[in-house]
Chain A
Amino acid sequence: MSEHLILPKVVLVKDAINPAYDQYLKGWREEAIRRADEGDTAASICLQATLIDLVLYGKPRHAWNEVMDEYLTKDDKPLAYSEAFGKRLHKFNNQYRQTTVHAIHTRWWIERLNDSNAVDHERFATLVLNKRQEDGLIYDADVSETILRHRMKAELTLSMAMAVEILRAAGKLTGTLPLELSTSITDQRKCPALGYMSTEFFRLKALNILCHVNLFPTGIAEHVEACAEDLDVGWCDFSMKSKVDAYMGTAKRTQRDKPIHSPLIACYVAMLTEQILDADKKAKALDRLASYTRHLKRNPLDIPAFQMRDVPIRFGADKTPIEMICASHLITQCRKET
C-alpha cells in the first residue's frame, strides 16, 4: 500500500478513484504520456501520473522512472523540468534546469515505489542535506535566491517534510539533528504560524517524522475555524482576513476576494484536527468534514478555482489529479462511515 506525504492518509490502491473522475484522469494520463514521448515532462507530471497509475491500476503501469532517467536527470541529479517542458514558457531557458527538493523527493518516491530495495537513500539524503541553509531550514536557495522573510511559508514546511522523509529512510535522523530541524521549523521568526492549512499540515508532517509533534504551535483550532469563514462547505487554505500587509489597509483590497474549498485542503484539515485539544472545536471541525464529504459525494465535480474578485474566470487550477484523488478518498471515507 502506497502513500505520499502531500496526500495524507490517502490510500493509493486500485479502484480508489470515484467513477466521476475516471475519464478525466485517463485523459490527463494519456496527454502526459504523449507529451513525455516528446521529452516534454516535469517531476510534478511524473508524480501525478504515477498517482493516477496507482489509483486506476494499483501499480505503476507506465515507466515514469525511465522517463525521469531520460529527461529529468542532469549530472546524476533529478530535475524539476525537462528541456522541452521549459520551452512552454518563453525565454525560460536559463531557469528551467532546477534540482528542487520536490524534484529530489519525487524521484526518490517513484524509485522506491518501483523497487524499494534498489533505492540509494544515501545519495538522496546527500542531495537534500546540501540544501540545508545556515538558518537551519532545508529549502531551494540555489534555485530561488529570495530571502527567508519573503519566501512562501508553505515552501519552507513542505521542503522540510520532504527532506526529513528522505533523511529518515537513509537513517540520517540521529543525534541532535531531529531536534535541530524541529526547532528551526517551529521558530516563529523563521517560519511563523500564519494559519495556512497547507503550511501547518506540512509542519506537522515534518515534526511527526522528526518525532517532535509536541513542538507543533498552539492555536490551530482558531485557524481551522477561520479558514471555513465565508464558505458553505469545506475549507480554504487560508482565511481572507489573514491576508495582512504591514503598510496599507487590506480590507478594501481583499473584500471582494472569494475563498474556495478544496478536497486537498480538507485532507490537511483532517490531519490538523488531531491537534485540536478542545473537544467541542474538534467535534465541530469533524462535523464540517463529514458535511463536506457528503457534499463531494453529491457534487464530485465541484472543485473550484480561485477567481480575481468579480471576474468569473479561473485564476489558477481547479480540478487536478491530486484534487480528484483527495476527493475520492474523502468520498470513500464518507461511504465507510454511512
Chain B
Amino acid sequence: MILGHLKVENYLRKTEGFVTGCLITDAKDRQYRQQYVFDENGDNLIVKRADGNGDAVSVPKTIALDESLVAFFGLYSGDGSKGSEDYNEPGRIVPNISFSQKEKHLVRFAVDQFRRLFPGNIRFTFSLGEDSAYFMAGDGRTSLNDWYLATTGTGTPAPLSLNAVRPSPNDKDGQYLEEVRPDVQGTNEEHLAFYYQHKAVMEAIFVDEKARELTSVGINLAPDIKVTASLRRPFKKGARAPGGSSRSDEIHIGGLNGVGELFLKMMHEIEDSVLHDTKRSSQGLVEWIDKPSVVGSTLDLYDFFTNNAYGQIDNSRPAKLVVIDDHVIGRWSRSSETTLNRYLLIDPLWCYIAGLYLAEGSTPKEALFRMFSGRPGAMAMGFTSSEGASIELMLRTLRKMFPKDECVDAWKVKVGSQYFPELVVTGLKHGVPMLRGGNSGDGKLRTMEISLSIKEWALEIADAPLSGVKSILHRDYADRYSHVEPTGAGVARIDFWASSTLCRWYFPLLMFTVFGNIVADPTHEFY
C-alpha cells in the first residue's frame, strides 16, 4: 500500500538544491550540507553536486513510500552509515552510503530497496571485516585448516617466526608489538606472525564464504557486484580471546558518490514526520497520504494469526486464539497467555520501527527468518538506543499492539568503559565509591547513588526530541528503571526489555510488514 511519497523534485526546487540537516548519532551533534544541481530525464532527475564533484545519480522525481521502503529507512537508520567527519571541517559529516548487515535476506532486501531509490548504474561491494584472532581457535581454526587441506593437501602449516613472514615491519606493526594485553595468552610477536603467515588465506576463506552466501539469495558476483575481506591484526578489532569474533559485514554502494546528504535527508524527514505525526515533513520532502497515525492498512490480528502465511511459528498456529471485544487473547504452544489489540494499523510508524528493530533489536536476525518453519529457540524482546527518538518510536509501536503494562518489563542504562571515570566522579560527588557487579564488572552496578544520577540523564535523553512533552519512557515507565550496567565500549544508551512472550506475536507481524509484499511463503522461502 502506498503510504506517502518522497517529493524529491519539489523539494530540490524549493530549496534550490540545498540539502542540509543536523545529525546526532553516538552523542555527536554534527551537520551535513550539500548543494545539488539537477536535470530532468523522463520520470527521473539526474542529480549531481553543484561543485561538479561526485557521481551523476538517477533519482525518481517522486518516490512512492510503501511498507517495505519505509521499513528500509528504519533499517538503514539502525545499520546504515551516517558518514564520517570532514577532517578539514570538524562538526560536518560527509555521508557515504553504506550499510552493515550480515543476514543474507536482509542484505538482499537492502540491495533491492537501494535499486528502487537509485535506478541508475549503482554498484555493490560486500566487504567483510574480522579480527584475525577468530582463526586462532574454534570454528575459524577449523576452516583455516580445511582450506589448507583442500589447497595443499596438508593442514595448517607450523607457525613461522615474525622475521620470516614480516622481515620489515611497518609503524603499525611496531605499535602493535608495544601494546599490552593482560588477558591474552602468547606474545604479540607470535600473534603478528600468525597474522602475516595466514593473511591471504584468511581473506580468501571469507571471500569464498560470502560469495556463496550471496548466491543463495540470488545475488551473483558480476562486474557491479564484488566481495572483499579485510582481516585486522589479532585482538585489534574486538576479539578478546583466540577464536573470538568481531565480524562486520558492510555493503558499500558505488555510483552514489555525492548524494549521501540527500539520502540522509530522506531518512530524517521520514523519522521526524512520524515522530511528530505530521502529514508533511518540515521541509516538504516527505508527504504522507494523511497524518501518519491514520495512514495504512488495518490488519485483523485474529485473522492474521489464523490464516496468514506469516502468522505461524514452527509451522503451527497459536494454541489459543479468542476474540473478546476489541482484543484477542492468545497463547502459543509452550508459552504464556497474552492480550493483543484485535486491529493493528500498519502505519508508517509501524513500518519504520519494523526496519529499525530488525537492525537494533536484541534477537539474532537469523532466528527471525527461521522461526516460521522451525523452533525459534530462546527469543528476547529488547531494544537499545542512545537516541530518545528511537526509544519513543519503539515504545509507541509496542503499545499499538500490547497493553501498556506489558510493553516494558524494566530498563537500564548501558555505559561503555570509556565513561567509567565519569561514573566514579559522580559517585564521589555523593561521597561513595563505585562498586561494580559480576565477576568481570559488567553486571548490575551496586552503587545506587550512581545509577540514580544516571537515571535523570536517561529520562532527559528520552524527552529531548519531543519539544517539551514528556516521553512515554518518562511518563509511564520511569519507575521501572533498574540500574546502570558497565559494559565494553560505547556511549551511554538506554536499554529496555519486555517479556519474551511478546516476541511470538510481534516478530511475525514485523516480518510480514517488511517482507509480506516480497516473499509469499516464509516457511519455505527464507531457510
Contacts and interface: CB of A to CB of B under 8 A. Distances in A.
B435 A246 contact: no
A89 B451 contact: yes
Interface in B425-476: 425-426, 428-441, 443-444, 446, 448-454, 456-457, 460-461, 464
A310 B22 CA distance: 12
B418 interface: yes
B505 to A, nearest CB: 24
B425 A90 contact: no
A322 B427 CA distance: 11
Given A264-B428, A315-B454, A154 B482 contact: no
B418 A246 contact: no
A155 B434 contact: yes
Nearest to A101: B433
B492 interface: yes
A143 B421 contact: no
B492 to A, nearest CB: 6
A88 B452 CA distance: 8
Contacts of A276: none
B27 A248 contact: no
Contacts of B444: 92, 95
Contact of B421 (A155, A238, A248, A256): A238
Interface stretch (B175-183, B209-217, B307-315, B334-342): B175-183
A306 B491 CA distance: 13
Interface stretch (A19-27, A40-48, A293-301): A40-48
Interface stretch (A54-62, A111-119, A145-153, A328-336): A145-153
A201 to B, nearest CB: 10
Contact of A314 (B179, B416, B450, B456): B456
A264 B481 contact: no
A158 B182 CA distance: 25
Interface in A112-131: none
Interface stretch (B150-158, B234-242, B296-304): B234-242
A78 interface: no
Contacts of B179: 246
Interface residues on B, range: 35 or more
B479 interface: yes
A6 B428 CA distance: 9
B29 interface: yes
A102 B457 CA distance: 25
Given A144-B435, A151-B436, A246-B180, A92 B448 contact: yes
A313 B464 contact: yes
Contacts of B418: 243, 245, 250, 253-254, 257
B367 to A, nearest CB: 26
Contacts of A96: 448
Contact of A95 (B441, B446, B480): B446
B446 A247 contact: no
Contact of B433 (A150, A152, A310): A152
A150 B440 contact: yes
Interface of B: 24, 26-30, 179-182, 235-238, 240, 386, 410, 416-426, 428-441, 443-444, 446, 448-454, 456-457, 460-461, 464, 479-483, 489, 491-492
15 contacts: A43-B432, A198-B425, A237-B425, A243-B418, A254-B418, A257-B418, A308-B419, A310-B27, A313-B457, A313-B461, A314-B457, A315-B492, A316-B429, A317-B453, A322-B430
Q: Which 10 A/B pairs are nearest by Cβ-Cβ distance?
A: A316-B426, A150-B441, A310-B29, A309-B27, A155-B433, A144-B435, A308-B27, A146-B441, A306-B422, A146-B436
Given A253-B418, A311-B27, A315-B422, 19 more contacts: A6-B431, A44-B431, A47-B431, A88-B448, A89-B451, A92-B444, A102-B433, A146-B439, A152-B436, A155-B433, A158-B433, A243-B418, A248-B236, A262-B429, A309-B491, A310-B28, A310-B29, A315-B419, A320-B429
